[in-house]
Structure 1
């Protein structure tokens, strides 16, 4: 296929022709990564018919099929996979060089893409990024929410933030903030009406607000530890959600006891809307980490984002 591409795109081609080549390859890479013409067209700001025509012309020029298309799906042929690997890598390299160059201006500038779970995005990234976007209008931030620990290279993100530091060896991992703890919390009114549990066994009979994990569909078991003794409690209660924000709302309304990361409820503990119980059964269990490919050259904009996240979690 490589020779077919070289025959189709002569090095002596005109500047206009070269522009067409770059445009066609860029279009193909977006379609190949999305594997969806509707999403790719929206990303490129063109119609689906124009997108289909561009891919058709590209395939005719190089003389091979790049995509397999049905009424329901889009896939890559072997040639398409090879072209995506080569063209995607080079186009990403060009974009990175341009971003690095723009990042050497007097003020940091350019796009920074970060992937994180919804909880980390809300509790860690958003509060820190407000300051960045306000102080540096030339920096653009794209925040991708993914609770399944997305591949940041495949998603073309600059970095990810997640709990724990067990990552591939080709990633640079930077701890953010202090060690995390869980907290069993409810409103003062709830505890006044139903009593305050002092140990995990006391949770029996309490209205425990349960979290259903999206990845496996099971209820998250509440795990406690004290003096080397580990106790796991399956929460029983009237309310279950796969969204921690909804569980927090229910706890604030006095429905029952929630078991959440301390960082998520700290503000409510400080203003008295929530109180915690069994604090001595909730040791630290890990910390947030920012990670990015070791081969990546951080831009000035990325350094600003990293420093702001670190400062916000100290």
Structure 2
């Protein structure tokens, strides 16, 4: 039977092969380079073979080291998987789960299944902070965040929460009768556009348009700028100007003729909301339960209610 010290020696050997350096491997293992060197000497002495060819500048596996590594990796992976499976099976999700979400995501994609989730996991305490600003979830002490896919850093693990989304540029027939109909994004500069203030820096939101890869960011101007975009649907219906809103907010109004869909080929679908977190390793059981519960839920495959505003992280 393998002793604990022998297991540690084999782990140390794998770490050196992974990092290609005693110094980097020692930092990864939380020990000194000299202690790691002694560990490898002990392993080589016990096995009676040289596993590593060392110079002042490089570390390479010997032929014996290559053979050991090829057998050792799958064995250690199986061991890790067995331990993780037992730990997951015996640990009931409990304790705090802190999420940071934009307002739209919180209302339309989290709230609908929070009740059933808490009923299924009564020992989890869910703490949802609603903030349209894009925050650093790690420094903020959050387990995960919920944002539009395009806003998430590439080094994060992201799990899809909603289907793809689409925007619509709309105005009332009365407005168009008075001011004319824009035929291209450049025409928007001569119109009364209803604007929205960016939650992160307070600047006016530039309308993001895309036609077959031709991307534009249009700085619009008009009689109104708000921090609460939900106001704009009614104001657009009243003929005050042109608005840029989520399609599911105004689709029924367009179908009824209350609003007219403008520049249709400039607003293609884009990735929707995702739950994101820093790493799959050492995931807190409440977060794992939340993600698993969401996968089992059919809510993310349904269209959300028509009651939210413009892109907000």
Band the TM-score falls in, shorter-chain normalisation: 0.5 to 0.7
- Pick from 239, 263, 276: which aligns with 1:278? 263
Structure 2 residue 140 is the aligned partner of structure 1 residue 150: no
Deviation per CA, 1:228-261: give whole Å up to 9, x if none.
4334322121100122223334224432211123
Query: Cα–Cα, structure 1 residues 147 and 267, in superposed 2: closer, same or farther, change >3 Å?
Result: same
Q: Residues 309 and 196 (structure 1 numbering): CA distance in 2 closer, same or farther, change over 3 Å?
A: farther
Equivalence for 1:294: 280
TM-score normalised over the length of structure 2: 0.55
Q: 1:204 to 1:168 in 2, by over 3 A?
A: closer
Q: How far is the alpha carbon of 1:186 from its aligned partner?
A: 2.6
Matched, 1:177 2:159: no
SS at match of 2:110: helix
* Matches of 2:262 and 2:153, distance apart in 1: 33
**Match status 1:163 vs 2:144:** no
RMSD: 3.4
| Distance 1:261-1:185 versus aligned 2 partners, 3 A rule | same
CA distance in 2 between partners of 1:231 and 1:168 (Å): 23
| Residues 1:174 and 1:189: Cα distance change in structure 2 (over 3 Å) | same
CA contact (8 A) 2:101 2:146 kept: yes
1:188 offset after TM fit, Å?
4.1
Alpha-carbon separation, structure 2, partners of 1:261 and 1:304? 28
Equivalent residue, structure 1, for 2:172: 187
Q: Is the 8 A contact 2:163 2:300 kept in 1?
A: no
2:288 matched to 1:303?
A: no
Deviation at 1:285, TM superposition (A): 3.6
- What displacement does 1:268 show? 4.4
Alignment-derived partner of residue 107 in structure 2: 122
Please tell me whether the aligned partners of residues 134 and 200 of structure 2 are also in contact (alpha carbons under 8 angstroms). Answer: no
Say if 1:224 and 1:159 are closer, same or farther in 2 by CA, change over 3 A.
same
Measure, in 2, the Cα distance between the counterparts of 1:271 and 1:264: 13
Unaligned segments of structure 2, at least 5 residues: 1-86, 303-313
Pairing 1:312–2:297 present:
no
* Equivalent residue number for residue 198 of structure 1: 183
Helix, strand or coil for the counterpart of 1:180? Answer: coil
In structure 1, stretches of 5+ residues that fail to align are 1-96, 104-108
- Is the 8 Å Cα contact of residues 112 and 299 (structure 2) preserved in structure 1? no
Structure with the largest fraction of strand: 1
- SS of 1:215's partner is coil
Larger Rg: 1 or 2? 2
User: What CA distance in whole angstroms lies between the structure 2 residues aligned with 1:201 and 1:159?
Assistant: 39
Quote how far apart the aligned CAs of 1:263 are: 4.1
CA 1:142–1:129 in 2, change beyond 3 Å: closer, same or farther?
same
Q: Aligned pair count?
A: 210
Q: Alignment partner of 1:286: what SS? A: coil
Matches of residues 10-29 of structure 1 in structure 2 within 5 Å? Answer: none
Report if the CA contact (8 A) 2:92-2:285 is conserved: no
